[in-house]
Amino acid sequence: MTTKRKILQYIRKNQKVSPKEIADHFELSRQGVHKHLKSLLEKDKAYKVGKPPKVFYIAKKEKSEDTIDSYVSDIPKEVENFIEDRFIDISPSGEIKEGVTAFIDWCKKRDKNPKKEASDYVKILKKYDKIREDGLLNGMKKLEDTFDKVYLDKLFYLDFYSIERFGKTKLGKKLLYAKQSQNKKMIKELSEKVEPKVKQLIKKYNIDAVGFVPPTVDRKIQIMKELESNLNLKANKISITKIKTEVVVPQKTLRKVEDRIENARNTFIVEEKNKHNNILLIDDAVGSGSTLNEIAKQIKEKNIVNNKLIGFAITGSLKGFDVISEV
């Protein structure tokens, strides 16, 4: 039996093992251990959790390759390629799984037929792809259905946060876990996805000023601050402040639209003194839309914008806004 196979069996037996434990048990050098572990990761036999110096390796459950291959062979190539690009799942232990193999695992856990589910998944996503404008989803109807008066001239999402039957989209999952785990790498990936669309809007609408909605929950790493830094836009920045209150009440904890409106109205202040022709407001997620609409209201009432006021969010709710309560 090869050393690599012995290490894999040792990890399976002990469930979660550090490189030092492996080195001590097999009397191997640090370099030798990492060489074998790298190979196990590349062959998808194990995955790692934690951050240096506390990193542990966990063996993946053995799968029948014949069974997986048979499921994949049942799925049309066009559908397989679409899922390979659009599907992501994140396990309870934090392992990121992408593509058709992850989709098949997702189906098997729910006792669903992968071929049928794959077809339905693609149909649903393509349905929403058809209503995209320059690769973006129009969120205005949601605002118009929610509020008596809408102060944004346009609102766009990069994607919906969640869709029917299949739950959170790839972008929705990445946004959720990037915020919850304060994962800078994942935030960077989101920024790279967002950047071309934001620059596309800036060019299309001749944007000369940009406002980033400030965070409402105190975190060490704030996704909106990271996004602002990563995008490094050349446009003027509008000053928007989130007021610190005696008791912090995040928007996501409020279930009624009226409460969200009151929260946004009383805790967000636009302090901009200069006038701008066209303004772009950027947020990470739109639930009810209360925050963006109330900030837009202040901008228009204070005559800060002369022409268009455009809203953009990484994700937005398809209907209702409870899904955004996670974010």
Locate the domains of the chain by residue range.
Answer: 3-59, 65-129, 137-326
Report the distance separating Cα 121 and Cα 85, nearest Å: 12
pLDDT of the residue at 91: 81
* DSSP classification of residue 17: B
**CA-closest candidate to residue 202, choices 302, 292, 291, 281:** 281
Report the distance separating Cα 190 and Cα 284, nearest Å: 10
Pairing of strands 309-316, 279-286: parallel
Contacts (Cβ under 8 Å, ≥6 apart) of 265: 294, 297
CATH number for 137-326: choose from 1.10.540, 3.40.710, 3.30.43, 3.40.50: 3.40.50
Residue 301, H or E segment: helix 290-301
Question: Mind listing the pLDDT tens digit of every residue in the chain (327 residues)?
Answer: 678 888 888 888 888 889 999 989 998 998 888 888 888 888 888 888 888 888 898 988 765 444 556 677 689 999 999 999 999 998 877 778 889 988 998 998 899 999 999 999 999 999 999 999 899 999 998 889 888 999 999 999 999 999 999 999 999 999 999 988 888 889 999 999 999 999 999 999 999 999 999 987 777 888 899 999 999 998 999 999 888 766 666 666 666 777 777 777 778 889 888 999 999 999 999 988 889 999 999 999 999 999 999 999 999 987 766 445 556
pLDDT of the residue at 247: 62
pLDDT of the residue at 95: 79
Residue 84: Cβ-neighbour burial (10 angstroms; 0-12, 13-18, 19+): middle
DSSP-derived 3-state class of residue 61: coil
pLDDT of the residue at 162: 92
Report the distance separating Cα 148 and Cα 292, nearest Å: 15
Cα 1 from chain centre: 42
Residue 77, H or E segment: helix 77-86
pLDDT of the residue at 45: 84
CB 173, CB 89: distance < 8 Å: yes
Residues of the chain by 3-state class (helix, strand, coil), percent to 5: 50, 20, 30
pLDDT of the residue at 66: 47
pLDDT of the residue at 267: 80
In the block, residue with structure tokens 């006038």: 275
pLDDT of the residue at 219: 78
Q: Give the global pTM.
A: 0.79
CATH number for 3-59: choose from 3.40.640.10, 3.40.50.1980, 1.10.10.10, 3.40.190.10: 1.10.10.10
CB 46, CB 52: distance < 8 Å: no
